[in-house]
């Protein structure tokens, strides 16, 4: 039994945790929910010794814990799967999984690879990661990296496993698999703490849920006593209703982008589609289907080997993202905010305004106008409710969800005519998710832009898109139309999508 | 300008810790003893004019009256010397002659052109008046290198049967020198009859390379003359692995320069605005190994004896 | 509350002088005070003149390094470019007999071209800047030795004015450096080019996805670096009164030491020109102080090393303390 | 089960001789063939002896650099440690009159302690290895100058055997290097310590989050680096027949050039000891080839620079081609 008493933790400009007390029992899957920045990750990091609390105590099976480092925590049998995917690029998958007990696979510090691979393969099978164990981690997709990390936590045989948004990059199939494994562990009496913003998961998997809000403990309840509505109310402190977004008003007359047989060797095969003004076009597919890669071909970040691209009816040659942004006004929000979306060591200001600097120049002196820049940043911070103590805050110090908002916010500020948004709500809480959804919707409906929405979150894509292209193996396998028709239900559309996935 | 009682009137400055500099500093110390003046000895960190400028300029703010300095860069040092002289301080260069005209009052140095000529002539004699020479120069950023090279080329041209088969350069460290000399020897094989090195590091390296070369009875005898001395070089001459080297009177560089400065600080005036004082050099072979030190001391003694007649009034 | 208010302002305001720079200023002041206390000659105008010129010189060459560090690279050839430019300057002034007004721009152009070559190789061959500039260091050094034969070039006395004189006790060299500092500081804060270079250094992938042409930024930074190295070479030649080919041989380590003491990050994305200026002051004072104290010259490098380490360690401790 | 066995072999095979190493081998062979064609003395036993000793030396000091690069750091003090160890060796052999069997372990210990000092400072002060080893370079260089006064120490003739002799035309030094290579290669492929150092260098955050104590890995790598530098110093002293304090002064750039030609990543996490060996061969052949060709000595550095750049550029092109 893991008990926390009055845990508090402050960061410069943010009180992350304020007197939180909670108990995690063996043999339960305990959901930890809350908005972005509520302090979930911080709490888990304190339990595992990655952060030291400012005050408070932790008891594990009645004994006080005083972790000085993560390794102490591992020794005590407490392990964590982090929210952010962190891998060792040049190591093998097997090694990454077994990294904590490499010594167990050899004599006197010398590794016997055969035994290591056999052992690792068992855990890889468990999470359905079917690749050779000597694959180098750097060649994996984000989802495969995530599965590697989960397998590592399983291999640690810990008595407590903390999972911080483990399903972030996973598809339903992979998630379902993971849940089977977690239920098995529960049977064995393992304590599981599960952080997720996806309510379906919380309700189908967990036994009890603890809610945090603004670093404070709100309450712990058996799942059976909760409804999504009541849980959201606890999270955001008010009653929340998901308004129906209604029909998308597309200007069928105006094709803003026309993709004609675009091919990029080994990535994309003969993709063709039109994008209209005011349209939200969804790209759906399983991990690795090539959605992101097509997006990168369109913005000139990957080579286009054949095919044509028309923007506003005229043939467009896009050699780099500078071309796409400044000449054709096409933007791309990356799915990978930490590595490609943000300047983590830089300020909120720079991160929001980086793509608009040229237009902020003083008409005469050509130097960036500070007032105009701050105006843009403040507007973005306000419209997305980004939680930051100031524009000078280092982005690294913001919570995952707020970082994601900045990654999206930069492109809203850039005011593109065509915006490609890749997985906009990974690790974003319900409140923020809703905000981002409305922003995307307004972008198309009010500002009359065209949006390509890439998402692995089926409810999200169905909620927003008016048309969905389904990708498989680098091809567009099919198109689901009329998605925004209120008469069509979620089951119908998902069944349509499912047809093309096989 | 503040001048406290414990400010030494004379500064002797050495480029960096180095056997040559160590010997010069011993000369400076002896001059301080003999003349009864306090001399501050300062040694820099790098063999560059930059480093010397930074250090000497810092020193020049301290109220010393006279400086004995090695001109790291014969042209560049004049900038430094000019500033010192404008600041009312005496400068004597030692070890190498700065470009003339120079603000320094004296240079106490070996006549490098003469030394290189003598060394090369000695090598040619050892080779029996004919053969192929490997010419090893030390640095490429030192004007003295060019003077030495010119002297060696001139000697080779004077002897019709002597030719310079290859010139190698740019080796301010023993390790690089050893690598380059070895490579050249390997490349030329038996095509070398004599080697001349005109720098401390290549000399040290050549001594090691030739010791090894001559240890193999199948290898032919290669004649060699270097420059400067060091325990390993002297040892190699003693056991016959190499033939000769040139001693440049480093002790004298320190002793004479500091003695002159001591006199000038005490009020003596130079006879000319600028004079070069040849501190002499001696070729060391197996024959004079035990007596060369006396020969050099004798040269120094002669110069000191003439100081008031030839240089100062 | 008032504390929070202060913090909030700190997180909102744009600042020219960062907390770190203030820390460095304090360190410089303490060093300055300590030397002034023990030395009677330290506050003389001559000492100040000589030291401020030294500071200017160290600061300039450190800037030449820092502009490359900013974009996440480095320039190992900074001294070699300085050497080569000195030779070009010497050739134009002495052999070609050109006027300074033509020779100096020519030299600066040569530095810029050398930087351009570095930059082009880095982006075209997609090889790390470390390797490219290491190789280019060999090449530039070989060129200067080959062209000059090691021979320094005499320059006209009039050319020495900028390097040797000053106005009201302040060396012209120092003024040039202050001007460069002001321009650089302005550039990194206020211009698209400057801020894009910072972005490239901060996270090249994110910069690329934000529409920034990283290659141009890297080339730009290298050109700038070459230009600054050439400028330092010109000033140095003027100060020395002769164009000595070995000019840049001792720069490399100094540039890193000063840039890093001055708070330039090795990982890119961070620069503070005024911090580098403070770095130049601290480095100069450390070296001067050791001579003032008549430190055993043979051990001089030990003291320099210890003091560099101490300065940076204290700075880091302060930073960590501030974070609390 | 047998599938795992095959995979395990595949891993071992892949990491002993990588594609890159084969590319480097080809480059080395071409260079070798070219020189052999134009030179009549190249295949002589003296040439082979002398060159293989040079290769051994370059490879060893490059390894001393590479072990630090692997954990994502670097060791600018590698030559300074070599110098200091030479002085220690000289002192023990000459002044203290110790036997080689005592003096050598003492020297190696000194190198390890110097590396330990580097490592401790890096992890305890949490300062970048670049800065720490830069400062320590000053410190070690100062110590060697202060202690030795720049004077080389004579060593007994018997001490020269390892450095100057060989067996069947193969220098002992070369054999020592081969042994070191084998050990290092094995360590990075098959030991927990080696794999963990690679992990730390590959992604320190991920390694920490995987329960690896990065600090220990960094300290370990630095101790190893000091040890290798000391070993190189011992062998060099034996080869030269005297303990010259300036031993390490020319190492720094060579270590980087060879390690990088040999495919060691500057970003950490990648090493190939046999690749470094090939790097040592290529670097030696380039330098020897230039002397064979009687290249103008004043322009020597230009050729060296161009050839380094070419080697790496071709290697990168090959790699990009392979990726297709
Ligand atoms: N290293 C840090 N430095 C400064 N502030 C931090 C740091 N880590 C977290 N915070 C702040 O602490 C608060 C809690 O963050 P935490 O990451 O725990 O939130 P979370 O509940 O996991 O949110 P999300 O769902 O977005 O991941 C946030 O306000 C965040 O900005
Ligand atoms: N079958 C596969 N196995 C492993 N990696 C793959 C596979 N297919 C693609 N990848 C890699 O996964 C990454 C993601 O691919 P891509 O971005 O094109 O897909 P996506 O449809 O956008 O999926 P995601 O949801 O991962 O973004 C790419 O780097 C690709 O090389
Ligand atoms: Mg979180
Ligand atoms: Mg994707």
How close is the Cα of D218 to the center of ligand 3, in Å?
30
Residue B1 has pLDDT above 50, yes or no: no
Judge whether A396 is closer than 8 Å to chain C, CB to CB: no
CA distance A257 to A250: 14
Tens digits of per-residue pLDDT, D92-127?
998 888 888 889 999 999 999 999 999 999 998 888
pLDDT, residue D192, reads: 86
CA distance B57 to B52: 8
Highest mean pLDDT among A225-229, B223-227, D314-318: B223-227
Cβ of residue D202 closer than 8 Å to a chain A Cβ: yes
pLDDT above 90 for A135: no
At residue D16 the predicted structure's pLDDT band, cuts being 50, 70 and 90, is low
* pLDDT for residue C172: 92
Of these ranges, A434-448, C150-164, C214-228, the one predicted with the greatest mean pLDDT is C214-228
The string of pLDDT tens digits covering residues C266-282 is 778 888 899 999 999 99
Above 90 in pLDDT, residue B133? yes
D150 to B166: CB separation less than 8 angstroms, yes or no: no
Q: What percent of chain D has pLDDT over 90?
A: 37
**Which residues neighbour B230 within 8 Å (Cβ) at sequence distance 6 or greater?**
B19, B200, B203, B204, D151, D152
Residue length of chain B:
313
How is residue B264 written in tokens? 């000038």
What pLDDT band is residue D1 in, cutting at 50, 70 and 90?
very low
Which residue is closest to D47 within chain B, CA to CA? B186
Q: Choose among B49, B61, B142: nearest Cβ to C150.
A: B142
A407-416, B297-306, C4-13, D238-247: which has the minimum mean pLDDT?
A: C4-13
Query: Could you tell me the two tokens for D173?
Result: 């030094």
**CA pair distance C156, B303, nearest whole angstrom:** 36
pLDDT at C12 (0 to 100): 63
* Rounded alpha-carbon distances, angstroms, from residue C304 to B227, C250, C266: 33, 15, 21
3-state secondary structure of C138: helix
10 Å CB burial of residue A426 (0-12, 13-18, 19+) is: buried
* CB-based contact D134:C259 (threshold 8 Å): no
Query: Can you give B165-188 as a three-state secondary structure string?
Result: EEEECCCCCHHHHHHHHHHHHHHH
Q: What is the pLDDT of residues B76-107, one digit of tens each?
A: 788 889 888 988 899 999 988 888 788 999 99
Q: How far apart are CA D108 and CA D176, in angstroms?
A: 14
| Average pLDDT of span A324-332 | 90
What residues of C are in contact with residue A341 (Cβ under 8 Å)? 206, 209
C-alpha to C-alpha distance for C300 and C287, rounded to whole angstroms: 9
Chain B residues closer than 8 Å to D44 by CB: 186, 189
Task: Map chain D to HEC letters.
Answer: CHHHHHHHHHHHHHHHCCHHHHHHHHHHHHHHHHHHHHCCCCCCHHHHHHHHHHHHHHHHHHHHHHHHHHCCCCCCCHHHHHHHHHHHHHHHHHHCCCCHHHHHHHHHHHHHHHHHHHHHHHHHHCCCHHHHHHHHHHHHHHHHHHHHCCCCEECCHHHHHHHHCEECCEEHHHHHHHHHHHHHHHHHHHEHHHHHHHHHHHCHHHHHHCCCCHHHHHHHHHHHHHHHHHHHHHHHHHHHCEECCCHHHHHHHHHHHHHHHCCCCCCCCCCCHHHHHHHHHHHHHHHHHHHHCCCCHHHHHHHHHHHHHHHHHHHHHHHHHHHC
What is the spatial distance between Cα D34 and Cα A413, in angstroms, rounded to a whole number?
A: 60
Q: Which atom of ligand 2 is nearest to the CA of A283?
A: 21
Q: What ipTM was estimated for this complex? A: 0.78
pLDDT surpasses 60 at A361? yes
Continuous segment of H or E residues that includes residue C311: helix C300-323
Assigned CATH for A255-501: 3.40.50.300
Q: How confident is the model at residue B116 (pLDDT cuts 50, 70, 90)?
A: very high
Q: Which residues contact C110 (CB under 8 A, 6 or more apart)?
A: C84, C85, C88, C230
Tell me the C-alpha distance between A222 and A30, whole Å.
Answer: 9
Residues in chain A closer than 8 A to C195 (CB atoms): 350, 354, 357, 368
Structure tokens at D29: 């062979």
Pairing mode, strands A467-472 and A330-333: unpaired
In the predicted model, what is the mean pLDDT of chain A? 85
Averaged pLDDT, D32-58: 88
Tokens describing residue B50:
């930059």
User: Which domains, and CATH codes, for chain C?
Assistant: 41-319 (1.10.3470)
Q: What is the largest CA-CA distance in chain A?
A: 73
Instruction: Judge whether D131 is closer than 8 Å to chain A, CB to CB.
Output: no
Task: Please determine, for residue A240, whether its predicted confidence score (pLDDT) is greater than 70.
Answer: no
Selected for mutation to probe chain D from C313, C317, C319, C323 (highest D CB count within 10 Å) is: C313
Report CA Rg, chain B. Answer: 20
What does the DSSP assignment read for A187-256?
HTT-EEEEE-S-HHHHHHH-SEEEEEETTEEEEEEEGGG--HHHHHHHHHSS------------EEEEEE
pLDDT of res. A243: 52
Task: Report DSSP state, residue A64.
Answer: E
Q: What is the pLDDT of residue A238?
A: 61
In this predicted structure, the answer to whether residue A287 has a pLDDT above a threshold of 70 is no
Residues of D in contact with C138 (CB under 8 A): 301-302, 304-305, 308
Q: Is the pLDDT of residue C2 over 50?
A: no
* Residues with a CB atom less than 6 Å from ligand 2: A 141-144, 285, 287-293, 335, 456, 471
Dihedral sign of CA atoms A432, A436, A442, A443 in order: positive
Distances (CA, A) of D125 to B256, B302, C279, C311, D207: 50, 60, 19, 12, 20
Q: Residue ranges of the domains in chain A?
A: 2-236, 255-501
Residue A54 DSSP symbol? S
Q: Indicate which residue's Cα is closest to atom 25 of ligand 2.
A: A287
Pick from A12, A321, A361: CB nearest C209: A321
Q: Positive or negative, the Cα torsion across A382, A388, A390, A392?
A: negative
Find the B74 Cα to ligand 1 centroid distance in Å.
63
Strands (E), chain B: 10-14, 39-43, 66-69, 90-94, 106-109, 131-136, 162-168, 194-197, 223-227, 244-247, 275-278, 282-284
Phi and psi at residue D280, in whole multiples of 5°? -60, -40
Q: Mean pLDDT over residues D74-98, rounded?
A: 91
Per-residue pLDDT of C55-69, as tens digits, reads 999 999 999 999 999
Q: What is the dihedral of CA C260, C265, C267, C270, to 10 degrees?
A: -150
pLDDT band at A455 (very low <50, low <70, confident <90, very high): confident
Is-contact A8 A42, C-beta < 8 A? no
Can you give the pLDDT at residue C17? Answer: 65
* Confidence class for position A132, pLDDT limits 50, 70, 90: confident
Please give the pLDDT value at position C15.
65
Q: Does the pLDDT at position D13 exceed 50? A: no
Q: Which pLDDT band, with edges at 50, 70 and 90, does A12 fall under?
A: low
Q: Which long-range contacts does A308-312 make (Cβ < 8 Å, 24+ apart)?
A: A308/A258, A308/A260, A308/A261, A308/A262, A309/A257, A309/A258, A309/A259, A309/A260, A309/A262, A310/A255, A310/A257, A310/A258, A310/A260, A311/A256, A311/A257, A311/A258, A311/A418, A312/A256, A312/A257
CATH superfamily, region A2-236: P-loop containing nucleotide triphosphate hydrolases (3.40.50.300)
Residue whose CA is at the smallest distance from ligand 1 atom 16: A39
SS (H, E, C) A81-118: ECCCCCCCCCCEHHHHHHHHHHHHHEECCEECHHHHHH
Rounded to the nearest angstrom, the distance between the alpha carbon of A160 and the centre of ligand 4 is 32
């Amino acid at each position: 039994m893991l008990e926390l008493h009055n845990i508090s933790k402050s960061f410069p400009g943010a009180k992350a945790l304020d007197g939180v007390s909670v108990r995690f029992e063996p043999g339960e899957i305990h959901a930890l929910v809350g908005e972005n920045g509520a302090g979930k990750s911080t709490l888990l990091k304190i339990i595992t010794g990655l952060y030291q609390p400012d005050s408070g105590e932790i008891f594990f099976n009645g004994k006080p814990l005083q972790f000085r480092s993560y390794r102490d925590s591992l020794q005590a049998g407490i392990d964590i799967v982090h929210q952010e995917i962190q891998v060792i690029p040049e190591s093998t998958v097997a090694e990454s999984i077994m990294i904590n007990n490499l010594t167990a696979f050899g004599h006197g510090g010398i590794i016997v690879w055969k035994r290591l691979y056999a052992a690792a393969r068992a855990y890889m099978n468990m999470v359905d990661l079917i690749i050779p164990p000597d694959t180098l981690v750097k060649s994996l997709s984000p989802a495969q990296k995530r599965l590697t990390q989960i397998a590592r936590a399983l291999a640690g045989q810990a008595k407590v496993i903390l999972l911080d948004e483990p399903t972030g990059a996973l598809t339903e199939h992979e998630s379902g698999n993971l849940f089977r494994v977690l239920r098995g562990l529960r049977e064995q009496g393992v304590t599981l703490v599960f952080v997720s913003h996806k309510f379906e998961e919380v309700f189908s998997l967990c036994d009890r849920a603890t809610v945090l809000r603004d670093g404070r403990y709100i309450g712990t309840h058996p799942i059976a006593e909760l409804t999504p509505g009541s849980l959201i109310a606890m999270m955001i402190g008010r009653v929340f209703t998901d308004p129906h977004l209604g029909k998308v008003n597309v200007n069928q007359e105006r094709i803003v982008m026309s993709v004609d047989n675009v091919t990029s060797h080994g990535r994309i095969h003969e993709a063709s589609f039109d994008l209209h003004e005011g349209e939200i076009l969804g790209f759906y597919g399983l991990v690795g289907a090539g959605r992101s890669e097509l997006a990168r071909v369109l913005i000139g970040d990957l080579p286009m080997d054949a095919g044509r691209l028309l923007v506003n009816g005229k043939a467009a040659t896009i050699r780099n993202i500078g071309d796409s942004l400044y000449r054709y006004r096409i933007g791309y929000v990356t799915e990978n905010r930490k590595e490609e979306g943000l300047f983590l060591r830089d300020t909120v200001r720079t991160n929001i305004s980086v793509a608009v600097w040229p237009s902020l120049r003083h008409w005469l002196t050509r130097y960036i106008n500070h007032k105009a820049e701050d105006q843009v940043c403040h507007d973005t911070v306000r419209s997305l409710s980004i939680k930051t103590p100031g524009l000078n805050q280092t982005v690294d110090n913001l919570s995952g969800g707020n970082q994601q908002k900045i990654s999206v916010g930069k492109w809203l500020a850039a005011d593109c005519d065509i915006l490609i948004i890749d997985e906009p709500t990974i690790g974003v809480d319900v409140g923020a998710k809703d905000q981002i959804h409305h922003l995307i919707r307004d972008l198309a409906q009010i500002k009359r832009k065209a949006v390509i929405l890439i998402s692995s979150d089926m409810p999200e894509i169905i909620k927003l898109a008016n048309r969905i292209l389904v990708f498989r193996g680098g091809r567009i396998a099919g198109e689901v139309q009329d998605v925004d028709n209120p008469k069509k239900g979620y089951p119908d559309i998902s069944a349509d999508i499912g047809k093309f996935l096989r | 300008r503040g001048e406290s009682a414990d400010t030494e009137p004379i500064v002797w400055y050495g480029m960096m810790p180095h056997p040559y500099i160590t010997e010069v500093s011993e000369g400076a110390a002896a001059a301080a003893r003999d003349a009864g003046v306090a001399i501050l000895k300062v040694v820099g960190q790098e063999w560059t004019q930059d480093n010397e400028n930074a250090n000497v300029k810092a020193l020049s703010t301290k109220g010393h009256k006279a400086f004995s300095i090695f001109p790291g860069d014969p042209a560049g040092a004049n900038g430094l010397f000019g500033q010192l002289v404008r600041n009312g301080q005496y400068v004597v260069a030692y070890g190498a002659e700065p470009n003339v005209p120079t603000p320094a009052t004296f240079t106490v140095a070996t006549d490098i052109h003469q030394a290189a000529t003598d060394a090369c002539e000695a090598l040619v004699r050892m080779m029996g008046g004919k053969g192929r020479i490997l010419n090893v120069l030390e640095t490429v950023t030192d004007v003295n290198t060019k003077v030495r090279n010119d002297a060696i080329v001139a000697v080779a041209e004077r002897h019709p049967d002597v030719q310079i088969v290859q010139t190698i350069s740019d080796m301010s460290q023993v390790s690089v020198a050893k690598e380059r000399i070895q490579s050249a020897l390997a490349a030329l094989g038996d095509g070398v009859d004599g080697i001349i090195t005109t720098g401390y590091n290549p000399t040290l390296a050549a001594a090691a390379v030739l010791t090894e070369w001559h240890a193999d009875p199948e290898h032919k005898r290669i004649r060699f003359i270097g420059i400067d001395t060091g325990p390993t070089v002297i040892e190699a001459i003693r056991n016959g692995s190499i033939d000769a080297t040139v001693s440049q009177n480093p002790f004298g560089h320190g002793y004479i320069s500091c003695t002159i400065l001591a006199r000038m600080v005490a009020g003596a005036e130079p006879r000319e605005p600028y004079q070069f004082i040849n501190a002499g050099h001696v070729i060391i072979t197996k024959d004079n190994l035990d007596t060369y030190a006396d020969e050099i001391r004798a040269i120094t003694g002669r110069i000191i004896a003439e100081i008031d007649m030839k240089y100062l009034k | 509350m008032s504390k929070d208010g202060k913090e909030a302002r700190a997180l909102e305001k744009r600042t020219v002088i960062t907390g770190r720079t203030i820390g460095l200023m304090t360190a410089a002041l303490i060093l300055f005070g300590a030397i002034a206390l023990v030395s009677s000659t330290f506050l003389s105008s001559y000492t100040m003149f000589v030291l401020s010129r030294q500071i200017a010189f160290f600061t300039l060459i450190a800037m030449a390094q820092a502009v490359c560090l900013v974009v996440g690279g480095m320039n190992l050839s900074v001294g070699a470019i300085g050497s080569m430019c000195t030779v070009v300057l010497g050739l134009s002034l002495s052999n070609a007999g050109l006027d300074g007004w033509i020779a100096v721009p020519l030299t600066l152009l040569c530095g810029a071209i050398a930087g351009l070559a570095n930059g082009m190789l880095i982006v075209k061959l997609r090889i790390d800047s470390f390797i490219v500039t290491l190789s280019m260091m060999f090449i530039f050094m070989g060129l200067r030795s080959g062209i000059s034969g090691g021979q320094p070039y005499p320059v006209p006395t009039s050319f020495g004015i900028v390097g040797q004189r000053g106005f009201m006790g302040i060396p012209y060299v120092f003024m040039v450096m202050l001007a460069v500092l002001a321009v650089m500081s302005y550039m990194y804060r206020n211009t698209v080019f400057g801020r894009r270079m910072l972005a490239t250094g901060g996270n090249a992938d994110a910069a690329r996805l934000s529409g920034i042409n990283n290659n141009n930024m890297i080339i730009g930074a290298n050109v700038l670096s070459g230009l600054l190295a050439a400028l330092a070479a010109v000033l140095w030649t003027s100060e020395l009164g002769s164009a000595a080919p070995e000019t840049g041989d001792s720069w490399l380590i100094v540039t890193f030491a000063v840039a890093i003491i001055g708070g330039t990050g090795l990982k890119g994305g961070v620069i503070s020109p005024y911090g580098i200026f403070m770095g130049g002051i601290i480095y100069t004072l450390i070296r001067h102080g050791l001579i003032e104290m008549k430190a055993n010259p043979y051990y001089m490098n030990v003291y320099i090393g210890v003091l560099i380490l101490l300065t940076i360690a204290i700075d880091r401790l302060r930073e960590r303390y501030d974070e609390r």
